[in-house]
């Protein structure tokens, strides 16, 4: 069976690099983006592959609970989920926390409670700091 993949944060650098690779395998991909103006870029990245590409415009800013995440999962019905989303330094610490942490957790928990989802890939980065980031609380440091 051909996998159906949900890519959250479809307009990011990593996502734009993996989109053609996924579609080259003839897999089905739904790429979630926040801004409808980004749709043409996603479609261009997906031109080379024989796989089926859908672009879904949804703001991860609106994912405030597991049920919000579940609504998107139920709409797309993916077998695999790739989280490659992030605030990208826009909107300050509260937005970074809301998307990079909270929305991600909601999707992870919702995916765990969805039997059809067999894989969840979280794209992230390690960093090293000499001092605590200004948006981290004591528990995070």
The neighbour count for residue 118, using CB atoms within 10 Å, is 12
Cα dihedral 49, 103, 95, 97 sign: negative
Q: Are 83 and 44 in contact (CB under 8 A)?
A: no
Q: Where are the domains of the chain?
A: 4-122
Q: Pick from 29, 140, 40, 124: which is nearest to 79 by CA?
A: 29
Q: Report if pTM > 0.85.
A: yes
- Distance, in Å, from the CA atom of 132 to the CA atom of 125, rounded to the nearest integer, reads 17
pLDDT digits (tens, 9 = 90+) for 6-63: 999 999 999 999 999 999 999 999 999 999 999 999 999 989 789 999 999 999 999 9
Q: CATH classification of 4-122 is 3.40.50.720, yes or no?
A: yes
Please state, rounded to an integer, the average pLDDT across all residues of the chain. 92
Tokens of 105: 């957790």
């Amino acid at each position: 069976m051909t996998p159906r993949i949900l890519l959250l944060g479809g307009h990011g650098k990593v996502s734009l690099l993996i989109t053609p690779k996924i579609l080259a395998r003839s897999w089905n991909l739904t790429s979630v983006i926040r801004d409808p103006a980004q749709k043409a870029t996603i479609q261009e990245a997906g031109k080379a592959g024989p796989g089926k590409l859908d672009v879904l415009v949804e703001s991860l800013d609106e994912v405030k609970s597991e049920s919000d995440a579940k609504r998107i999962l139920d709409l797309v019905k993916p077998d695999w989920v790739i989280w490659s989303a992030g605030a990208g330094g826009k909107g300050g610490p509260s937005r970074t926390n809301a998307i990079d942490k909270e929305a991600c957790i909601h999707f992870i928990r919702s995916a765990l409670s969805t039997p059809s989802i067999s894989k969840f890939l979280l794209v992230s980065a390690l960093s090293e700091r000499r001092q605590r980031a200004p948006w981290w609380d004591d528990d995070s440091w």
